[in-house]
Chains A and B, each alone.
Chain A
């Protein structure tokens, strides 16, 4: 299997492989207004060091091995037709043709696949039983990933069909996309959760695998459009990564930009290490960096810097969406 070069794929600029989804998770309460389902698209143009969903990086179906569940029964080895799998958890991607027999045969659910091609029909069917709860909680669906803007046609169809049923949809994006190509999706979306990382372009490249000039450009454009009612509302989110995004200069940089473009609220997403363990499931994911725990003081300092720029900080799920720029489509 070829490894995806992150820089080679940018949101909106996709052709080829069929879009994959690696999870649909319900009862999410920190990913937009109300109670939501999150649709996780597989594939991302960035490679943030601290990423909590490393299984979202590549656009292709991947095999993974959850070592702590494995009972070393060798069933997977026995069923592998290509000889790629030589021992539990050990396989040669070059010889593997992704027949998934090992996954089907594994009794312990240790050998798993990440990424399944799913049609809009299929996704809607998975979301439909949750519609009542969205309505009761003023929630909806969040398209996330990975990066949903890599898959504009599918993401747009899902969002549009939700809109037709008056279900609120949110796009959670890393901000790296070709604006024109993502236009159809934006037209169908109610709210954009726009993730900010490093303010400095070089630092962004070093930590996330790509520069951020396009990200800032897109942020400005989206906020401008929202303000004029020509696009979905926009709400930035800043993960507070200890020693990386939490440093004062970085927060100040974003705070100034947000102030300049008239954004009034931001979500501070506290760093956690819960994704670190998932890296060992994937054969070629680099280990997560040792960052230590986030201190409340770092979070407080970030909030204070933003407040000094007239931008109010919120914990995930506790946002006052009335501060979101632009015109609400509903509510």
Chain B
């Protein structure tokens, strides 16, 4: 054995070591991630090498439908029937594409990797970039003819967008402008609601035929299932479901035909011919009928997912708990009980084939990207749409539901490590060791995936907003961090983001921003009292509260204009047919048909706000170092000539994230003020408003328009992320950080939150690292009822970037035996040494 490897990877023993990996132990066995098959390597490389593009098929077909005879006739029908027919037209007429090697078929667009174009939303923004599509940060490759067509279709669709329909009226235009240059908030619902985790369990077990026949029965009888008469809207809804099912079946059939044609081609190898015939048989059967095999189960989920993508908008369309949904089919495939945790029970060949199937499925999610102009992308970069797969967790009775498939989905992801899908792992007291260790093994690869979710905190938060216990226990992740009871919920989970620190700036200046290049001169917020009248800390808090309420109220106003437009113009029959409550009530999800309905607004810059409240309280009201007026005067000049004070606030004051109760309480206060403001609203579908704490990359865009903050943050600097501490402020290690995070009132955060924690790859390498991470996060998620954590294991390249930006990665954990130091505390030369260590894997 090569000694260099032996030292680099402590799981591999030094010469003479007993060889602990040989100890027969299920946990150790399961932690080993199997290598990809040749097929998966080929598929992965194709996806990595393929440039991104835009698919114009959807708008092209929608425009063709509008101009067709069928489309003109549909003009006279109920709006939702018209919408369903347009979707059916797209699904029927889109060209099927079967790619080499894939085991799950169904092209997401006409391009191998392409963004679908949603004229109903904000896709038109891409026209801003039309002259530089190939040179953008995320280059998009289009032929000259395609660019001309994009322009044409863009102009056709612009007047049909939800924003034009809802805000393009006198009196509302200023809000329209705010959407273009967000400051206090950004209303993401303008783009689309999407963000759904549908009832894939029913799709797999019952097939769409069940919902179709239920709709058919209601139409035939003219009655709802409860026997009451159905009105015209309800009958139109049932018709829309049936039309949409027809469209999905047509798409599946065309894919089957394409597979059969390929199988018949002389150039196709016999092995591939067999594969294609199996796939074709599957597409002729699912998703209309119940899936008979694991492969058909995956195929059914995928086809419905594609239909959802084409129906309205693509963000956050998630699969839910695929390990639970497909568990019975897996058990049938291997002839064992799906609840058995003994993954060794299946033969190696079985497992390897199943992992290949799962990897092929997961790779399909890489076919789609979001279509954001660079301006919009500033707030939402990452080029991901957030297709989440949730694994592990408890069942309806509260018992562990982890099964072998839970681990195999992670194995498959480890083989591809692509930007999609989003892997989400649920953790509870009975989560098996082998599963958590496997999750940590994947985390060690450095892709930031899977994220971990604490069942106790999340189930509690959902129950607090009225979700029944059994349904809350069944939660799945939407997109990145949002949560829902799958197949029962319509949650506009990403409706808007609010700039919380800006509310504090406004509170300190009567509802206006501090002067400066970042600031708007307008009266942005409520006219709270002037600083001279804020005599106590409680007065400051009251002014802040008033500003938060004012910002949230304004978002409520904008959403109240959007919601009727959704009801009228953007109904979603596919989404509704996989959401419980809709067929029962005869209502589309946009009409409030779902069993649970919600709208969620996220706060950005939580820790910056909390730390600022703490700094302000301590400096002005406790230490009485200066008057509030004097301090605010310093803030309005962005700490000009006040660097010592600014540094003192940043380096010497207490901060959230260090296990310091006083600082943590201020962050919780900020979160609670926000949650109070959110909780006072409801949406027009009859659903509750719920708060979430994540930022996307809005921390950068909101930060650029936010003034200096009492915690020493300069005007224009980016804001803290999710419920993570402020960059540069947590210096007490991961245990203190997680304790602080767990101390927040997350039981009120029904839309979840994002916490980032960073480690140096060298520190947490090998089995020692896995053991340490597993026990660390079990303590946080189980003992402390923590809600969520995303773990970033940083390689040497990232560490180099950290060095250049001293405040970027201060909470990076570096550990060397017997050595006492923090990364950010070290001189640049020593940081270089540490980086070199990580780069070479030596020591």
Write the residues of chain A forming the contact surface with B, with a CB cutoff of 8 angstroms. Answer: 22-23, 25-31, 34-35, 38, 40, 52-53, 55, 66, 68-69, 71, 73, 75, 106-109, 129-130, 132-133, 136-137, 139, 144, 172, 267-270, 272-278, 280, 293-294, 296-297, 299-300, 303-304, 306-307, 311-318, 320, 323
> Is residue B659 within 8 Å, beta carbon to beta carbon, of the partner chain?
yes
Tell me the minimal C-beta distance from B300 to chain A in angstroms. Answer: 40
Mask of B1-33 contacts with A, CB within 8 angstroms, 1/0: 001101100110111111010000000000000
List of A residues within 8 angstroms of B647 by Cβ: 71, 107-109
Give chain A's interface secondary structure class: mixed
A109–B13 alpha-carbon span in the complex (Å): 42
Assess A306 versus B18: contact at CB under 8 Å? Given A30-B817, A66-B825, A71-B647.
no
Tell me the minimal C-beta distance from A306 to chain B in angstroms. Answer: 7
List of B residues within 8 angstroms of A300 by Cβ: 3, 6-7, 15
Contact of A313 among B17, B643, B739, B779 (CB under 8 A): B17
Tell me the minimal C-beta distance from B78 to chain A in angstroms. Answer: 58
> Is residue B38 within 8 Å, beta carbon to beta carbon, of the partner chain?
no
Assess A270 versus B842: contact at CB under 8 Å? Given A23-B820, A129-B659.
yes
Contact of A274 among B14, B784, B833 (CB under 8 A): B833
Q: B818 near A31 (CB under 8 angstroms)?
A: yes
Q: B833 near A278 (CB under 8 angstroms)?
A: no
Q: B734 near A277 (CB under 8 angstroms)?
A: no
Q: A26 near B645 (CB under 8 angstroms)?
A: no
Mask of B824-843 contacts with A, CB within 8 angstroms, 1/0: 01111110011001000011
Q: B819 near A275 (CB under 8 angstroms)?
A: yes
**B776-809: which residues lie under 8 A (CB-CB) from chain A?**
776, 778-779, 783-784
A268–B817 alpha-carbon span in the complex (Å): 11
Write the residues of chain B forming the contact surface with A, with a CB cutoff of 8 angstroms. Answer: 3-4, 6-7, 10-11, 13-18, 20, 643-645, 647-648, 651-652, 659, 732-736, 739, 763-764, 766-769, 771-772, 775-776, 778-779, 783-784, 813, 815-821, 825-830, 833-834, 837, 842-843
Tell me the minimal C-beta distance from B355 to chain A in angstroms. Answer: 28
Q: A144 near B652 (CB under 8 angstroms)?
A: no
List of B residues within 8 angstroms of A274 by Cβ: 816, 819, 821, 826, 830, 833-834
Assess A30 versus B816: contact at CB under 8 Å? Given A109-B652, A270-B7, A273-B833.
yes
List of A residues within 8 angstroms of B775 by Cβ: 34-35, 133, 136-137, 139
List of B residues within 8 angstroms of A315 by Cβ: 7, 10, 14
Tell me the minimal C-beta distance from A251 to chain B in angstroms. Answer: 13
Closest A-chain residue to B780, C-beta based? A133
Contact of A71 among B644, B779, B821 (CB under 8 A): B644
Contact of A29 among B20, B769, B778 (CB under 8 A): B769
List of B residues within 8 angstroms of A107 by Cβ: 644-645, 647-648, 651-652
List of A residues within 8 angstroms of B816 by Cβ: 30, 52, 272, 274
Q: A132 near B783 (CB under 8 angstroms)?
A: yes
List of B residues within 8 angstroms of A23 by Cβ: 820
Contact of A53 among B735, B739, B818, B829 (CB under 8 A): B818
Q: A307 near B16 (CB under 8 angstroms)?
A: yes
List of B residues within 8 angstroms of A307 by Cβ: 15-16
Q: B837 near A312 (CB under 8 angstroms)?
A: no
Assess A297 versus B3: contact at CB under 8 Å? Given A129-B659, A274-B821, A317-B10.
yes
Q: A26 near B772 (CB under 8 angstroms)?
A: no
Q: A312 near B768 (CB under 8 angstroms)?
A: no
Closest B-chain residue to A108, C-beta based? B647
List of B residues within 8 angstroms of A304 by Cβ: 15
A75–B645 alpha-carbon span in the complex (Å): 11
A132–B13 alpha-carbon span in the complex (Å): 29
Assess A317 versus B651: contact at CB under 8 Å? Given A35-B775, A130-B735, A272-B843.
no
Tell me the minimal C-beta distance from A119 to chain B in angstroms. Answer: 20
Contact of A311 among B7, B10, B16, B20 (CB under 8 A): B16
A130–B732 alpha-carbon span in the complex (Å): 12
A325–B15 alpha-carbon span in the complex (Å): 20
* Shortest Cβ-Cβ A-B pairs, 5 listed: A137-B775, A300-B3, A30-B817, A107-B648, A307-B16
Closest B-chain residue to A67, C-beta based? B827
Closest B-chain residue to A142, C-beta based? B818
Closest A-chain residue to B648, C-beta based? A107
Contact of B818 among A26, A27, A52, A306 (CB under 8 A): A52
A108–B712 alpha-carbon span in the complex (Å): 12
* A26-B732, A108-B647 known, 20 other contacts, Cβ within 8 Å: A52-B818, A53-B819, A71-B647, A108-B648, A109-B651, A129-B736, A133-B775, A137-B776, A267-B817, A269-B818, A274-B821, A277-B827, A277-B830, A303-B15, A303-B16, A313-B15, A314-B13, A314-B14, A316-B817, A318-B766
A165–B400 alpha-carbon span in the complex (Å): 30
Closest B-chain residue to A320, C-beta based? B18
Closest B-chain residue to A296, C-beta based? B4
List of B residues within 8 angstroms of A136 by Cβ: 775, 778-779, 783
A62–B403 alpha-carbon span in the complex (Å): 56
A58–B11 alpha-carbon span in the complex (Å): 37
A185–B834 alpha-carbon span in the complex (Å): 35
The contact sample of 14 A-B pairs, CB cut-off 8 A, is A26-B735, A26-B736, A29-B764, A35-B772, A71-B644, A107-B652, A109-B652, A269-B818, A272-B843, A276-B830, A296-B4, A296-B7, A312-B16, A320-B20
Q: A30 near B768 (CB under 8 angstroms)?
A: yes
Q: B842 near A294 (CB under 8 angstroms)?
A: yes
A283–B767 alpha-carbon span in the complex (Å): 41
Q: B15 near A27 (CB under 8 angstroms)?
A: no
List of A residues within 8 angstroms of B784 by Cβ: 132
Tell me the minimal C-beta distance from A143 to chain B in angstroms. Answer: 12
Q: B14 near A303 (CB under 8 angstroms)?
A: yes
Q: B10 near A299 (CB under 8 angstroms)?
A: no
Q: A317 near B817 (CB under 8 angstroms)?
A: yes
A268–B659 alpha-carbon span in the complex (Å): 34
List of A residues within 8 angstroms of B643 by Cβ: 71, 73
Contact of B734 among A27, A269, A294 (CB under 8 A): A27
Q: A306 near B842 (CB under 8 angstroms)?
A: no
Tell me the minimal C-beta distance from A145 to chain B in angstroms. Answer: 9
List of A residues within 8 angstroms of B16 by Cβ: 303, 306-307, 311-313
Assess A312 versus B769: contact at CB under 8 Å? Given A107-B645, A277-B826.
no
A38–B775 alpha-carbon span in the complex (Å): 17
Q: B826 near A28 (CB under 8 angstroms)?
A: no
Most chain A beta-carbon contacts within 10 A, residue among B13, B815, B820, B830: B820
Tell me the minimal C-beta distance from B808 to chain A in angstroms. Answer: 16
A280–B648 alpha-carbon span in the complex (Å): 23
Q: A312 near B7 (CB under 8 angstroms)?
A: no
A281–B708 alpha-carbon span in the complex (Å): 32
Q: B772 near A27 (CB under 8 angstroms)?
A: yes
List of B residues within 8 angstroms of A268 by Cβ: 14
Assess A29 versus B763: contact at CB under 8 Å? Given A68-B828, A73-B644, A108-B647.
yes
List of B residues within 8 angstroms of A106 by Cβ: 652
A139–B833 alpha-carbon span in the complex (Å): 29
Contact of A323 among B18, B829, B842 (CB under 8 A): B18
Q: A269 near B817 (CB under 8 angstroms)?
A: yes
Tell me the minimal C-beta distance from A53 to chain B in angstroms. Answer: 6
A170–B283 alpha-carbon span in the complex (Å): 62
Most chain B beta-carbon contacts within 10 A, residue among A66, A75, A270: A270
Contact of B7 among A28, A35, A299, A320 (CB under 8 A): A299
Q: A29 near B768 (CB under 8 angstroms)?
A: yes
Closest B-chain residue to A273, C-beta based? B833
Tell me the minimal C-beta distance from B840 to chain A in angstroms. Answer: 9
Q: B7 near A318 (CB under 8 angstroms)?
A: no
List of B residues within 8 angstroms of A28 by Cβ: 815, 817
List of B residues within 8 angstroms of A316 by Cβ: 817
A317–B769 alpha-carbon span in the complex (Å): 9
List of B residues within 8 angstroms of A313 by Cβ: 14-17
Q: B820 near A27 (CB under 8 angstroms)?
A: no
Tell me the minimal C-beta distance from B764 to chain A in angstroms. Answer: 8
Closest A-chain residue to B766, C-beta based? A318
List of A residues within 8 angstroms of B15 by Cβ: 300, 303-304, 307, 313
